[in-house]
Amino acid sequence: METQSKDRIIILDTTLRDGEQCPGATLNVDEKLLIARQLARLGVDVIEAGFAFASPGDFEAVERIAQTVGTEDGPTICSLARAIREDIQAAARAIKPAAHARIHTFISTSDIHLEYQLKKTRAEVLAIAEEMVAYAKSFIEDVEFSPMDAARTDPEYLYQVLERAIAAGATTINIPDTVGYTTPSEFGALIQGIKANVPNINSCVISVHGHNDLGLAVANFLEAVKHGARQLECTINGIGERAGNAALEELVMALHVRRQYFNPYLGRPVDSEEPLTKIDTRQIYKTSRLVSNLTGMLVQPNKAIVGANAFAHESGIHQDGILKNKLTYEIMDAQSIGLTDNQIVLGKHSGRNAFRTRLKELGFELSETELNKAFLKFKDQADKKKEISDWDLEAIANDEIQQAPELFRLELVQVSCGSGARPTATVTLRTPSGEELTDAAIGTGPVDAVYKAINRVVNVPNQLIEFSVQSVTAGIDALGEVTIRLRYQERVFSGHAANTDIIVASAQAYINALNRLYAALPASEGPREQVIAEGVSK
């Protein structure tokens, strides 16, 4: 796959690597595969699929993504690796199945990192960078190198490191603002300085990576493009460590909406209508929703491009202008990111084939088993709702393909609550052994009572750290989406479910999260039953 063009912008998506480092955003292998497939449909050039050496789970995820998504006409599959032989070896093994593969190796170069983190001299780091890039090159042609904390590195030393890395075989040089410290003018000057002072810089692609600690990541990247950066490393919804990464959707749509402004910087005629990236913008909203649901990281309503209010107008003046001409207050069409105005799509008399066809049009590829389960949910919702919209269908499909391993299954949930009453819940669950167990509990509210009743049955130790309810569509019969996050020891597990009954959705989301937790209990901790028993006794 060609990714070296100098007159367009290469998009490297690191949602599955840096994005997953966001607290609470841990994904299992199957969830990573779902996102990777959607990233391929979105049209990203490079998927940084993980840090292969970090854990057996990370290695498996990178390898499976390389096998299934790294096709001849698919994106380049990349694994991160420290400038250490064992890391590079693991990365090379994990990405080997991909038709187009890349090793991304890095080492810190700022004086503060050298002194306190690496405890190495500049000369030592210079030698390591050169040696490890050459070592990565012995496995694969496509090698990316990052001098970590480049934005705070002495420029003269940075130029030396980059020159040596390129001479050793790096095909992409990434300039990271690791701590989100720089500003647009400074970042642009840094890229300009690199182009002027690294003699072999034109033999590789200049990439940028940055965090949003000061809210400047996207602005920094766009300034870098003006000075010669041709690869942008970003994440869906801007998720990532601390304040997150530069958001893919914001970068892509800025380049799309303002392409006449950016065209000259890429050597194109000002009025060229050719896209500056290969991203299919109509897949942006769906990708955003998928990542949000799987990670449990909700998108704020006023988030640019993909927030619920991004295309909403309440001001009377704005509404009047929009009704007369959308261009008065909208700089882009909601349909350009995959939002539609469809209301009634299917009804309770629609058949399985129509249901399958519409889901395919919306970008969902369900297995026969998933389709059957989703169709039953659709029929159930169609009996309850007069109108079934695309958003309803999306929620039903997502609810099915994002299911956790079905170890515990919710068979019944019933609540009693009201003014002056003590909220009480009764639940019936089917256990992994097939046994049906029923219990009841009193809580501070109906959801609290349901969760306490479920805990009495399941007996899996956990701490509920986040609970969120959102309406999928408008109206009193809207589907309610519930997202929760549980903590067990140092790990966080998310659960997601949608239903017209938010109590049922809450229970299903909790069971989904508990199933993920239960399935992830490591063998090193002994049999699951033992861990559960220990949790009950505490």
Q: Are 143 and 184 part of one and the same domain?
A: yes
- Do 428 and 492 have their domain in common? yes
346 occurs within a structural domain: no
Residue 41 within any structural domain of the chain: yes
Q: For residue 144, is it within any domain?
A: yes
**From the CB of residue 63, how many other CB atoms can be counted at a distance below 10 Å?**
24
Going residue by residue through the chain (538 aa), what tens digit of pLDDT does each one get?
444 567 899 999 999 999 887 766 678 888 899 999 999 999 999 999 999 999 888 999 999 999 999 999 999 999 999 999 999 999 999 999 999 999 999 999 999 999 998 899 999 999 999 999 999 999 999 999 999 999 999 999 999 999 999 999 999 999 999 999 999 999 999 999 999 999 999 999 999 999 999 999 999 999 999 999 999 999 999 999 999 999 999 999 999 999 999 999 999 999 999 999 999 999 999 899 889 878 878 888 889 998 877 776 445 554 445 445 555 556 787 788 887 654 334 666 677 787 888 777 666 777 788 888 888 878 877 776 666 766 677 777 776 666 666 789 899 999 999 888 899 999 999 988 889 999 999 999 999 999 999 999 988 889 998 888 877 666 666 678 888 888 888 777 888 888 888 999 999 999 988 988 888 776 544 444 544 444 433 3
Find out whether 423 and 444 touch, Cβ atoms under 8 Å.
yes
Distance, in Å, from the CA atom of 444 to the CA atom of 464, rounded to the nearest integer, reads 15
Assigned domain for 324 exists: no
Same domain for 397 and 413: no
Residues 391 and 427 in one domain: no
Residue at which a domain ends, from 248, 273, 295: 295
Let me know the angle formed at the C-alpha of 290 by 287 and 291, rounded to the nearest 5 degrees.
85
In a domain, 512, yes or no: yes
**What is the DSSP track for 286-337?**
HHHHHHHHHH--PPPTT-TTTSTTTT---SHHHHHHHHH-GGGT-SS-GGGG
The predicted structure's pLDDT at residue 87: 97
**Among positive and negative, which fits the CA dihedral 256, 326, 340, 237?**
positive
> For residue 248, what are its two tokens?
């893919």
In a domain, 129, yes or no: yes
Look at residue 2 in the predicted model and tell me its pLDDT: 44
Query: Do 103 and 81 share a structural domain?
Result: yes
Is the residue at 337 inside a domain? no
**Is residue 277 within 8 Å of residue 268, measured between CB atoms?**
no
* Whether residues 71 and 219 fall in one domain: yes
Domain co-membership, 390 together with 370? yes
Nearest residue to 26 (alpha-carbon basis) of 40, 38, 16: 16
Last residue of a domain, one of 342, 373, 401: 401
Element (H, E) at 256: helix 248-257
Task: Provide the token pair at 50.
Answer: 């993980």
Q: Please report, for the domain that includes residue 426, its CATH number.
A: 3.30.160.270
Query: Which contiguous run of DSSP H or E holds residue 200?
Result: none
One domain for residues 229 and 81 = yes
Give all strands of the β-sheet with 480-488 in edge-to-edge order.
Answer: 463-471, 480-488, 491-499
- DSSP assignment of 367-394 equals -HHHHHHHHHHHHHHHHH-S-B-HHHHH
387 and 532 within one domain: no
pLDDT reported for residue 438: 95
Q: What is the number of structural domains in the chain?
A: 3
Ranges of beta strands (E only) in 199-311 are 205-210, 231-234
- Claim: this prediction has a pTM higher than 0.85: no
Domain span at residue 67 reads 10-295
Same-domain status, 180 and 213? yes
Query: What distance in Å separates the CA atoms of residue 530 and residue 135, rounded to the nearest whole number?
Result: 45
pLDDT score of 349: 67
Burial bucket for residue 386 (CB in 10 Å: 0-12, 13-18, 19+): exposed
Angle between helices 155-167 and 122-137 (to 10 degrees): 30
Residues 110 and 238 in one domain: yes
Verify that 374 and 430 share a domain, yes or no: no
132: domain CATH number?
Answer: 3.20.20.70
Residue 413 lies in a domain: yes
Q: Which of 297, 294, 329, 328 is nearest to 311 (CA)?
A: 329
**How confident is the model at residue 259, as a pLDDT?**
95
Burial class (CB in 10 A: 0-12, 13-18, 19+), 314: exposed
